[in-house]
Amino acid sequence: MRKSILALIFCSLPVFGAADDYQKLANMCIACHGSDNNTAFPSIPNLKWQNKLYLTKQLSDFKNGQRQDATMTKVAQLLSEEDIEKLADYFYTLNHQE
């Protein structure tokens, strides 16, 4: 199952680049992590209400090998530092709207 998810993520990567494409990148995150406290995979944490600094640190740790997960390590290594910051901003803003 994880290989299928990873293949889906890798196939979608060429569509990213412009700032307005971060919604597509975020949608890939949501595909596994879920939104509104609903995730298709109970073992995968939900990103809703996560702290921006926490998200940034976790993605950076996956990227540089300080935190290990077969899927997330590979995904995070494909993200630039700007991607990581923008994703953390996106989820923080999305989840803290009144």
Q: What's 37's domain CATH number?
A: 1.10.760.10
CA distance linking residue 80 with residue 63, whole number of Å: 9
Number of neighbours of residue 33 by Cβ within 10 angstroms: 19
Range of the structural domain that residue 50 is part of: 2-95
Model confidence pLDDT, tens digit, residues 41-57:
888 888 877 899 999 99
Q: pLDDT (tens digit, 9 = 90+) per residue, 66-86? A: 999 999 999 999 999 999 999
CB 28 within 8 A of CB 59: no
How many domains does the chain divide into?
1
**pLDDT of res. 93:** 82
